[in-house]
Amino acid sequence: MPYRVCFVCTGNICRSPMAESVFRARIEEAGLDGLVEVDSAGTGGWHEGDGADYRTVAVLEAGGYESDHAARQFQVAWFSRLDLVIALDSGHLKALRRLAPTPQDAAKVRLLRSYDPAAGDDLDVPDPYYGHMDGFEECLEMVEAASPGLLAAVQEQVEGRAA
């Protein structure tokens, strides 16, 4: 059974699809495709069925990432099949931990930037939606900076399952 990671932001059109695309590329580069499944969702359903924000798509494409996406809302029932739920900011972290049906499920929820040793105390990826292109570029930089640490943690879990 694959190790499953879900990235979660507010509407699933900016930060979480960006993180999903970047992390999927890292999984493929590490030769873990097939062993790790990556997806994303939002805490709310306002944009369900919509594609990623055009600025997210532009930043991803400029970075060489795939950007095929349809927004959806995170469902409580998913906790039972997910191994790791990655929140993009502390508001999402709190909301997801409140939704978690068990303490074990709540423990699956982590902040993305907690995997970036250079992040310091500010572990939120700011929402770029109401800003300009530079906010989306900054978001991509934060996602890319946290990806190696997240990849190492996931790789360790996948190898532990195989042992």
**pLDDT tens-digit readout, 23-74:** 999 999 999 999 999 999 999 999 999 999 999 999 999 999 988 999 999 9
Length of the chain: 163
How many Å apart are CA 47 and CA 49, to the nearest integer?
6
| Catalytic entry in 9, 14, 55, 139 | 9
Residue 100 falls within a domain, yes or no?
Answer: yes
Is there a domain that residue 62 lies in? yes
Q: Which of 6, 14, 15, 105 is catalytic?
A: 15
Q: What is the pLDDT of residue 6?
A: 98
| 1-19: pLDDT as tens digits | 899 999 999 999 999 999 9
Q: How many domains does the chain contain in total?
A: 1
Query: For residue 17, what is the domain's CATH number?
Result: 3.40.50.2300
Residue 38 lies in a domain: yes
Across 14-158, the runs of DSSP E, i.e. the strands, are 36-42, 84-87, 109-111
Is this structure's pTM higher than 0.95? yes
15 labelled catalytic: yes
Tell whether 162 is covered by a domain.
no
**Residue 163 located in a structural domain:** no
Q: Is 55 a catalytic residue?
A: no
Task: Give residue 163's pLDDT band: very low, low, confident or very high (50, 70, 90).
Answer: low
In-domain check, residue 13: yes
- The string of pLDDT tens digits covering residues 93-143 is 999 999 999 999 999 999 999 999 999 999 999 999 999 999 999 999 999
Task: For residue 59, tell me if it sits in a domain.
Answer: yes
Catalytic residue among 50, 83, 97, 127: 127
Q: Which amino acid is at 94?
A: K
More confident residue, 148 or 66: 148
Q: Using the structure block, give the residue that is written with the tokens 């709310």.
A: 44
96 is in which domain, residue-wise? 3-157
